[in-house]
Chain A
Amino acid sequence: MFENVDAVQQALASQNYVAERGLATSIYLTLRLGKPLFLEGEAGVGKTEIAKVLALLLDTRLIRLQCYEGLDANTAIYEWNYAQQMLHLRLLEASGATRSEMEHELFTREFLQARPLLQAVEAAASGRPPVLLIDEIDRADEEFEAFLLEILSDFQVTIPELGTIAAEIPPVVVVTSNRTREVHDALKRRCLYYWIDYPSFEKELKIVRTKAPDVEPMLARQITAFIQELRRMELFKAPGVAETLDWTAALIALDQKKLSFDVVQDTLGVILKYQDDIESLQPGVLESVMDRARLHAEIARG
């Protein structure tokens, strides 16, 4: 476990994750207080990545629950393996077992399929708390949120046929949301909240250079400055950090040493995903955005 916030920040950096002080503080407190971490922010700012990095740092399993509408207890907690139970029932019948024997035999751990939430509680109960990532909670419906409340505060699962499984040391929980709807306050209240914003120029440059070490320094600065300029424009969907990294990879693949008008125009689809946004960058506009980006990159060179 980490001693202080600095240790967390350094550990994250060692895993190539550039985190500001605030995020490191929240992560540190999540680990110390055993409360879930609720991360909100625009798409592509590295919310999911945090859970992955945490699992690596703590040298533990990452259990991921991807949310979607209609997600229910059967798919999130546990489900009995009916086919196998049926088969077993037939065998028991053939052996002439009594009714109570049958029921006793049928509902055992062997026939239980653990889904992510039960997996996490079981792993934690066995002494190795995993990192549980509940991804894009805003995609699930309110019904799901409601039963998540219980799991997140007690970290225990009750299976009527088997009893209660409880984790003494809670798993490290990371909940993410893209804010396509408001998540209920009751859920947020149980968590530490952190809003991940788009990074500043310096931070984004650091991310680009950490994730793509072989990028030309000038190109890295220009890419970052260009993306930062785009975020300042009125776009329907501004590019996230994920797009910046994709674009960097694309430009490296195209053997670019610095931004050139034609290549930028041809690769706009990597960073902008709406036709209207691409259209709003007509040649004249694109030219001026690029000029500003080049200037910014030049200044940043110092």
Chain B
Amino acid sequence: MSDRPGGNLLHNLLLFGRVCKALGLDINPGRMMEVAQALEFIQLGRKSDFYYTLRGLMVTRQRDLELFDEAFHLFWRRPAEGVSTLTIDSLGDKPRKKPKTQFLPPMDFDEDSSDSNLPPASESLAFVLTYSQQEVLRHKDFADMNADELASAKEIIEKLPKSLGRRRSRRYEAGKGVLIDIRKTFRRNMRYGGEVMDFPTRHLKLKPRPVVLLCDISGSMERYTRVLLHFMHTLANTMYQVESFVFSTRLTRVTHPIRHKSVDRALEEVGRLVNDWGSGTKTGGSLQQFNYRWSRRVLGRGAVVMLITDGWDRGEPEVLLSEIERLQRSCYRLIWLNPLLGGTQYEPLTRGAQAMLPYVDDFLPIRNLANLEAIVQELQKLNWRRSERLAHAHYILEK
């Protein structure tokens, strides 16, 4: 069957490489050449060695392991009964079922209702605001905006300043400071024949802080979700190291999909991942998922956490209490952004809000554009020095 020795295996291997690439694994021709090279060193007859060789070279992320396994077992499975004379080498010649390419949960996102809020792109471009209109718009509740206003609100969101709080990194750079840069001192003073005349100094470099966004997308937040996701999209695309999550009954990480350049594509991708849109809120449980699975991976280096929720919670208050406390302890600053705050007669009296309030560092409204600007300004104030943490955020309410 095979006139080229090893030819079919190579053929199959490349085919398998293509399948894996289609599944989203990081595969390139160089990689496949290495695989082929590596196969010379192992006993091909032993399937487990073959498997581990391929896995070691073709998978570079833990989350891809499962996908790879599934593809591997489908692709390199034993031929069915009746064709048992075939060796693994000849498999590539047979048409064969491809592994599933769709591993995402079914699409649950109601496209129609969301699209009715959005004018077609051409319309929004034609919509130009005068100054006074802009002023009105700045203070208008997102929930009361019509489609045109929302579109221009989004344009304004995109123009928000992008740099947020900074932290001191452990890396040095040349500049004013008390630490003498010995390497430079030595080099520079060579020109004076070894007489030490000036002392270049160095100081610690300032770096932007990582940001973690946790956005509530439950039913009670529905009127704000679109704008808030847009806000998240803007931050995720323009700032340094943003991790994004959404939650209602459970937590979904949307860091990668929300970074898509086109906001519509981004939201579509997010919608495909999330299957608990508009359901009840279990803030405590979602935060627990975040704390257990993600906090160690994304809260390093003095991250700022922005928790966007209205404080309505249908979960157990004890869980919420202990999880919000843990969350505050593990980040640099926990900011609660609430779309209901600042509305007439709103007071955070719900059980969830009462549980959360003592543990947030800032409690800010997020119901209109003026709020968004204020939030960004607040964040820019965060510097490398640890600002005093509020024992109780209540005082903001009293003011």
A residues neighboring B (CB under 8 Å): 4-5, 21-22, 25-26, 28-29, 32-33, 35, 38, 40, 68-70, 72, 74, 79-80, 82, 85-86, 89-90, 93, 99, 102-103, 141, 143, 179-182, 185, 188-189, 191-195, 234, 236, 276
Residues of B within 8 A of A192 (CB): 56-57
Do A4 and B42 have beta carbons less than 8 Å apart? yes
Would you call A32 and B55 a contact (CB within 8 A)? no
Known: A72-B171, A82-B186, A141-B169. A180 touches B297 (CB 8 A): yes
Looking at the complex, which one of A5, A72, A179, A188 makes contact with B60 (CB distance below 8 Å)?
Answer: A188
Q: Tell me if B's interface is mostly helix, strand, loop or mixed.
A: helix
Proximity string of chain B (38-50) to chain A, C-beta cutoff 8 Å, 1 when within and 0 when not: 1001110010110
Residues of A within 8 A of B26 (CB): 185, 189
B186, A86: Cβ atoms under 8 Å? yes
19 further interface pairs, Cβ-Cβ under 8 Å (given A25-B56, A181-B300): A4-B43, A5-B42, A21-B48, A21-B49, A29-B56, A33-B38, A69-B170, A86-B186, A86-B194, A93-B194, A141-B169, A141-B171, A179-B62, A180-B296, A191-B60, A193-B59, A195-B62, A236-B291, A236-B326
CA distance A76 to B190 in the complex (A): 25
Which chain A residue shows the least CB distance to B298? A181
Contact check: which of B41, B60, B170, B297 meets A28 at CB < 8 Å? B41
Give B contacts to A, CB under 8 Å.
Answer: 26, 31, 34, 37-38, 41-43, 46, 48-49, 51-53, 55-57, 59-62, 65, 169-172, 182-183, 186, 190, 193-194, 291-292, 296-298, 300-301, 322, 326
Q: Do A74 and B183 contact each other (CB < 8 Å), given the known contacts A69-B170, A276-B326?
A: yes
Bound-complex Cα distance A122 to B182 (A): 25
Specify the chain A residue showing the minimal Cβ separation from B31: A189
- Let me know if B326 and A29 touch, CB within 8 A: no
Residue of B nearest to A99 (CB): B193
In the complex, what distance in Å separates the CA atom of A69 from the CA atom of B65?
A: 29
Question: Is A180 a contact partner of B300 (Cβ separation < 8 A)?
Answer: yes
- Listed by A's residue number, 14 A-B pairs whose Cβ atoms lie within 8 Å are A4-B42, A22-B52, A25-B42, A25-B52, A29-B38, A29-B41, A32-B38, A33-B38, A38-B60, A40-B62, A80-B183, A182-B297, A189-B31, A234-B292
B296→A82 contact, CB < 8 A: no
Q: Do the beta carbons of A70 and B41 come within 8 Å of each other?
A: no
Which residues in B have their C-beta under 8 angstroms from that of A33?
34, 37-38, 41
B65 partner residues in chain A, CB cutoff 8 A:
195
Which of B65, B182, B298 counts the most chain A CB atoms within 10 A?
A: B182
- The complex places the Cα of A192 from the Cα of B60 at a distance, in Å, of 8
Task: State whether A181 touches B297 (Cβ < 8 A).
Answer: yes
- A5 / chain B contacts, CB cutoff of 8 Å: 42-43, 46, 49
Q: Which residue of A lies closest to B194 (CB)?
A: A89
Contacting pair A90 B301 (CB below 8 A): no
Q: How far is the CB of B15 from chain A (nearest CB, A)?
A: 22
B-chain residues with CB within 8 Å of residue A40 when the two chains form the complex: 62
Q: Which of A29, A79, A180, A234 contacts B53 (CB 8 A)?
A: A29
Cβ–Cβ < 8 Å partners of A21 in chain B:
48-49, 52
In the bound complex, do residue A82 and residue B56 qualify as a contact, i.e. CB atoms below 8 Å apart?
no
Residues in A with CB closer than 8 Å to B46 are 5
CB neighbours (8 Å) of A102 from chain B are 194
- Complex CA gap A192/B56 in Å reads 5
Residue of B nearest to A103 (CB): B190
Most-contacted residue by chain B among A5, A72, A99 (CB, 10 A): A5
Q: How far is the CA of A193 from the CA of B170 in the complex (A)?
A: 28
Shortest Cβ distance from A40 into B: residue: B62
Is there contact, CB below 8 Å, between A188 and B326? no
Closest CB in chain B relative to A244 CB, distance in Å? 20
Is A70 a contact partner of B56 (Cβ separation < 8 A)? no
Looking at the assembled complex, report how far the CB atom of B32 sits from the nearest CB atom of chain A, in whole angstroms: 13
B301 with A189: CB separation less than 8 A:
no
In the bound complex, do residue A143 and residue B171 qualify as a contact, i.e. CB atoms below 8 Å apart?
Answer: yes
Contact B296 A32 (CB under 8 A): no
Measured between alpha carbons, how far is A273 from B298 in the docked complex, in Å? 20
The distance in angstroms between the C-alpha atoms of A82 and B187, with both chains bound, is 10
Q: How far is the CA of A103 from the CA of B187 in the complex (A)?
A: 11
CA distance A234 to B297 in the complex (A): 17
In the complex, residue of chain B having the shortest beta-carbon distance to the beta carbon of A35: B34
A195 proximity list for chain B (CB < 8 A): 62, 65
Given the interface pairs A21-B48, A32-B38, A82-B183, the reply to whether A68 lies near B170 with Cβ below 8 Å is yes
Docked pose: A182 CA to B170 CA in angstroms: 19
Task: Report A-chain residues with C-beta under 8 Å of the C-beta of B170.
Answer: 68-70, 141
Min CB distance B296 to A, Å, is: 6
Within the complex, the shortest CB–CB distance from B305 to chain A, in Å, comes to 16
A185–B64 CA distance with the chains assembled, in angstroms: 13
User: For A86, what are the chain B residues with a Cβ–Cβ distance below 8 Å?
Assistant: 186, 194
Give every chain A residue within 8 A of B193 (Cβ-Cβ): 93, 99
Chain A residues with CB under 8 A of B34: 33, 35
Contact B186–A193 (Cβ < 8 Å): no
Q: Determine the residue in chain A with the shortest Cβ distance to B38.
A: A29
Q: How far is the CB of B181 from chain A (nearest CB, A)?
A: 11
Q: How far is the CB of A81 from chain B (nearest CB, A)?
A: 10
Contact check, A22 vs B55: say whether CB atoms are below 8 A apart: yes
**Residue of B at shortest CB range from A188?**
B60
A residues in contact with B291, CB < 8 Å: 236
Q: With A and B bound together, what is the CA distance between A152 and B349 in angstroms? A: 57
| Contact across chains for B322 and A276 when beta carbons are under 8 A apart | yes
What is the bound-complex CA distance between A141 and B167, given in angstroms? Answer: 14
